[in-house]
Structure 1
C-alpha cells in the first residue's frame, strides 16, 4: 500500500466507529470520558505520528486497530493462569486481525494490503520485520506514557519492575531513547530506573 491512499480516512472512520461502542469509559487527555479502546487507538496514532511521521500506511492502519473491539473477548473468559493469559492474548490477536480485515474490506482495501495489516496486528516476524518492530516500539511507548503509572498503582512493586524488564527487550535502541524522554512522573521514573538497574 502507498501512503495516504483514498481508503485511509474511511478505514480510520470505521475503526473508530467500532471502538466507540466500548462500554468502558476512561478520562481522555482533556478529562472528558472516552470509550477506552477509542482512546487507546487515538493514542497509538498520535504516538506513531510523533516518532515516525513517514510510517507506511499499513503501520498507520495497524496502530489504529491494534485493540479493535478488545472488550469483546474478556480476560475473565480464560483461566487466570500464565497459560490462560497467553491463550487470551493469542485469541485477541486473531480476533483483531479478522475484524480489521472485515473493516478494511469495507473501506475498499485490496486483499494484499489487508493481509499486510493483519500480519502487523498479529506481530508476526517481530525481530526481522522493521514495520512490526516499529509498531511494537509504539505499543510500548503508549503503555509507558499513558498506562504504566495506573498499572503500577494496582500491583506490587516487584510485579511492576518485572513488567518493565519484559517490556524493555521488545524495543529497539531508538525506542529505549524515546522511552527515557517521556514525561514520567517522579514515581514512574523511579520504578523504571529501578527496573533497568537490575
Structure 2
C-alpha cells in the first residue's frame, strides 16, 4: 500500500519529536514533550478548523520540531536574548521541516508555504498564519497556562494573557472561552481582559 507525502511527512515529524529527552506527564502517562505538543496542536487545529489546508496541518505538527536543540539558556537571559532565540527557533523549525518535506517529495512552492507559516509571517494579514496563531494560543491556554500561573506573579500573568489574546482572531476568542479552565484561571483571564 502506498503512503501519501502527508503520511510520510507526519510520520517523520513525529519521529523527530519523539527524540525529545524532556518528558511531560499527561493523564498518568509520560510523553516526549515536543511530541505531545505536536499532537495537541494538530488535534486542536482539526477540531477548530477541520478543513485546514495540508500546509497548515503540517505547520501545526512541526511548530516546535526539535525545539530542545536550541536551548533558551544559550542566549542572553534578557528581552533581546529572548526575542533573538524566538526568531532563530522559527527559522530552525522551518528549515528542519523543509528537509523532511523535500524527502517526502513535496514541491518547492508547498515547502515555501509551510516555512512561511511556521515563521508566522504576515500575522493578522494572512488567513492561514492567523489560523495557526489561533491554534498556538488555544493550545497554550488549554494546556500550558496553568503551569505558567504557578511560576509567575499575577500582574505578569495578566500581561501574558492579554498579549496572547491580542494575537488571536475573534473566532479564536470565542473558542478560547469554551475551554474548561479552573475557576481561579478563568477569574484571572477575565480580570486580565477586563470582562
TM range (shorter): over 0.9
Name the CA distance, whole Å, in 1 between partners of 2:166 and 2:148.
19
Shift of residue 84, structure 1, vs aligned partner: 0.6
The residue aligned with 2:32 is 35
SS in 1 for 2:24: strand
Q: Show structure 1 runs of 4+ deviating over 3 A.
A: none
Deviations 1:52-105 (A, max 9, x none): 000011000000000000000000000010011000000000000000000111
Gaps of 5+ in 1: none
Does residue 93 (structure 1) correspond to residue 90 (structure 2)? The answer is yes
Calculate the TM-score normalised by the size of structure 2.
0.97
Gaps of 5+ in 2: none
Match of residue 23, structure 1, among 21, 24, 39: 21
SS in 2 for 1:128: coil
Matched positions, count: 193
Shift of residue 197, structure 1, vs aligned partner: 0.7
Name the CA distance, whole Å, in 2 between partners of 1:154 and 1:114.
38
Match of residue 134, structure 2, among 134, 137, 141: 137
Does residue 171 (structure 1) correspond to residue 168 (structure 2)? The answer is yes
The residue aligned with 2:56 is 59
Calculate the TM-score normalised by the size of structure 1.
0.95
Name the CA distance, whole Å, in 1 between partners of 2:132 and 2:28.
27
Shift of residue 193, structure 1, vs aligned partner: 0.8
Name the CA distance, whole Å, in 1 between partners of 2:143 and 2:46.
16
The residue aligned with 1:105 is 102
Name the CA distance, whole Å, in 2 between partners of 1:97 and 1:43.
19
